[in-house]
Amino acid sequence: MMRAMEEMDQENIFDGLSSVVEGCRLPVKMRKGDEWPLAEIISIKDVNGVTYYYVHYVDYNKRLDEWVTEARLDTRKIQYPRKDGQSNAGTGVNTPIKKLGSGTTTIPAVPVPAASSRPSSPVGPPELVNGNAFLAAALNKKMNRKRKAPPPVHTVPNHAEPAPEVPVQVVRTTKSTSLTIPDVPIAAEGDLSEPPSSDRRLTGSMVAHNDDIVTRMKNVEMIELGYHRIRPWYFSPYPQELIHFPCIYICEFCLKYRKSRKCLERHLAKCNVRHPPGNEIYRKQSISFFEIDGRKNKVYAQNLCLLAKLFLDHKTLCYDTDPFLFYVMTVFDDRGFHIVGYFSKEKVSTEDYNVACILTMPPYQRKGYGKLLIEFSYELSKFEGKTGSPEKPLSDLGLLSYRSYWSQTILEILVNLKPVDENERPQITIMEICELTSIKKEDVISTLQNLNLINYYKGQFIISLSKETIDNHMQAMSKRKIRIDSKCLHWTPKDWSKRSK
């Protein structure tokens, strides 16, 4: 009986295949596991009599999009596209990933030649009250009292300019550490990943993502880079004649691309490059950073952007690399300097962005290199004597990395804060945190809110550090085995604004 029902279900599934068109939504079996999430049909093609469907799993990251056969479609719960031509709401294109494999394999190397009123002080046992609502009320009060220029365009949403800084007072107890902060208006936390669409701009030789039918579909099946074969996550505009090959072979030193392994071997016989172009400005043990001028090394910069676009969805590529600097992180062995990741940076940024695009290559992810890239970008900002912030939108993984870095960096300062005199509480201001870390004020404030550390107590705003928070922080810091050593950075900031004139 059960077998008969299964056969009937299977017949029903295949009977509905003729009605599947682009834009339909239906359950699709994922490559890994036994899940059948709802997916949208993006494109349909026939190859040697076999029909393939390109699907996007709704509420999953686009890096899981793939071509599937009819055997993985369940047409019993099909949803047809609306007749008005508009797509159903909630595509989930930019939602966080739920499950993801590494997507990389190791192969032999090629031979190298909200607001509320302010409450009264608590009565009875001391109790901490979450201060975000009161901070929002303070913001509204200040904005109604004194309105000057409109807020900056490229800032974290809803964050206004704070009032003049007052020293933070620190209260240490056996159960928690409380830091009193000045009466600074802080709005509710904004979404760091998506600024208003009108604010999007050129970013690190890439621009805001244009979600059309072509760029929604992966066009490269596999790349080979050094020891690794990597399955790309997103679309990248490699030459049309290359994308039909099962794999694109990329020189890991100059980043030039070839259509076959034989072509790559012939290229390596002639290529005498063993490191990125530009100046090596940092080296400690096996880790180095190279600074590359997008104008002087245009071909390398463009090839780097093509490679990075395979793993960055929120940007599309443009070839004007002149206004940008690229900082490539490498690891060194007897074969040369192998690319681990990079970030790009505008030579002149009116909004004090210290990163435009940032990427850790998939084989090196989850090893601490992402935080090292972020830490290096802020080390450059310290040398420049500025505070900086990454340009938005951030990818889902980039947003997680930045929030983790901001949290650990700010907590490291608060935990180690010492009083000036024995009988006094330790004091610090938000601006002093910014000066010590080079993290922009809006990011410091949003991080404190995201950690839920801002509270209201006896008429003052305080930062409360519980023993659990401190213990979790110490445990996280113990896992960061690699850190940037400022003594190993040999770099002098340049005034690009004068050079451009």
Contact 315, 209 (CB under 8 A): yes
Residue 171 to residue 322: CA distance in whole angstroms? 51
C-alpha pair distances (Å), 60 with each of 67, 235, 304, 423: 15, 17, 27, 54
Return the structure tokens found at 4.
Answer: 């008969």
- Provide CB contacts within 8 A for 45, sequence distance 6+: 51, 52, 54
Own/partner contacts of 415-420, CB < 8 Å, gap of 24 or more, are: 415/177, 415/465, 415/470, 415/473, 415/474, 417/170, 417/179, 419/170
- Work out the number of other CB atoms within 10 angstroms of the CB of residue 107: 12
Catalytic residues: 391
Taken in order 196, 202, 203, 209, the sign of the CA dihedral is positive
C-alpha pair distances (Å), 298 with each of 137, 251, 301: 50, 16, 5
3-state SS string over 184-210?
CCCCCCCCCCCCCHHHCCCECCEEECC
DSSP letter assigned to residue 96: P
- Work out the number of other CB atoms within 10 angstroms of the CB of residue 46: 8
Beta bridge partners of 295: none
- Estimate to the nearest angstrom the gap between the alpha carbon of 51 and the chain centroid: 35
